[in-house]
Amino acid sequence: MLSERRLQVLRAIVQDYVGTEEPVGSKALTERHNLRVSPATVRNDMAALEEEGYIAQPHTSAGRVPTDKGYRLFVDKLAGVKPLSSPERRAIQNFLDGAVDLDDVVGRTVRLLAQLTRQVAVVQYPSLTRSTVRHVELLSLAPARLMLVLITDTGRVEQRMVDCPAPFGESSLADLRARLNSRVVGERFTEVPQLVQDLPESFDAEDRGTVSSVLSTLLETLVEETEERLMIGGTANLTRFGQDFPLTIRPVLEALEEQVVLLKLLGEAKDPGMMVRIGHENAHEGLTSTSVVAVGYGSGDEAVAKLGVVGPTRMDYPGTMGAVRAVARYVGQILAEN
């Protein structure tokens, strides 16, 4: 167990390093934080911290730099979440209030987050899996061709084509539309399958095939549409990384373009609280020199999607966490208001 002062020293190192981007030495530490001990003492503490693996020196006889383990301790024990200033909060609210549709909400959120944290922002579109059905619409495009439109409570719209095994009359269509909606509107996606399974039986034999096609397409859409989409922004902030550029930035850009990777990453943010992944804690190789801060957001009590930022391990964790949390809350509000 580390003594109280050693923890203070670690905290000071993290803060200074984040501020200056340069390895921090014992003398500078004692000057900038009133630790009330001499540099020599701090040196001893640093040696101990290094022994434990919380800090490291880039080269012999340079200052110390926090390791991933050091940041981890800092985040878990030494720092809180820094709340935003109230002007900032007002700015967020104003900015998000101007959104006209779901795409716009997500787009604005990305820009906001990127600007606020000066890092790369990632926002997942509200997932279909947790949300409820607002409306199902059926349109006849051709005698044996339907379009199925699914509208969710988060304002998302998905459409699918359905090829009918047999022509399907306008009246049957209206009938199916009405029955379908009366059963599934307001229901969770997970409930839908059992709610509609007996529908084909109540139709004439000739229409039954088409009804089944429609239903299976609907179910497919509900399930398979866990193929979540996401939007990223603020990649220009990557240029603030360091100057050993090509090597650092490249894998990150590549990882960001692999939506699968990002979705998996965000998916690991479990519902309660905020996820902070530091450096090598990230499974993906391209992100081992970055940290990810993510949190779920939702229109109601439950998270329907995630959002977060990707930045250098050397980031302002309290500030970033505060911004991410605040944005998530406001987006949730906006979605709830619909």
- Binding footprint of DNA on the chain (CB under 7 A): 5, 23-28, 36-41, 43-44, 46-47, 50, 57, 59-64
148 scored as a contact of a second copy (CB under 8 A): no
CB under 8 A, 24+ apart: contacts of 35-40 = 35/5, 35/8, 35/9, 37/5
Strands (E), the chain: 55-56, 65-66, 120-124, 133-142, 145-152, 157-163, 230-233, 274-278, 290-297, 305-312
In whole angstroms, how close is the CB of 49 to DNA at the nearest point? 10
215 burial level (CB within 10 Å; 0-12, 13-18, 19+): buried
DSSP letters along 273-287, please? SEEEEEGGGSSSGGG
* Residue 178 vs 283, nearer CB to a second copy: 178
Helix (H) or strand (E) run with residue 195 in it? helix 192-196
* Residue 47 vs 157, nearer CB to DNA: 47
Binding partner of residue 283 among DNA, a second copy, none, CB under 5 to 8 Å per kind? Answer: none
* Residue 87 vs 246, nearer CB to a second copy: 246
**Among all chains, which residue has been given the structure tokens 């193929």?**
227
243 scored as a contact of a second copy (CB under 8 A): yes
* Residue 49 vs 255, nearer CB to DNA: 49
- Tell me the H-state helices in 233-337: 245-257, 259-267, 317-337
In whole angstroms, how close is the CB of 42 to a second copy at the nearest point? 34
- Helix, strand, or coil here: 306? strand
* Residue 140 vs 333, nearer CB to a second copy: 140
In whole angstroms, how close is the CB of 306 to a second copy at the nearest point? 20
134 scored as a contact of a second copy (CB under 8 A): yes
Q: Which residues bind a second copy (CB under 8 A)?
A: 101, 103, 134-135, 137, 139, 141, 147, 149, 151, 157, 159-160, 229, 233-236, 238-239, 243, 245-246, 249-250, 253-254, 256-257
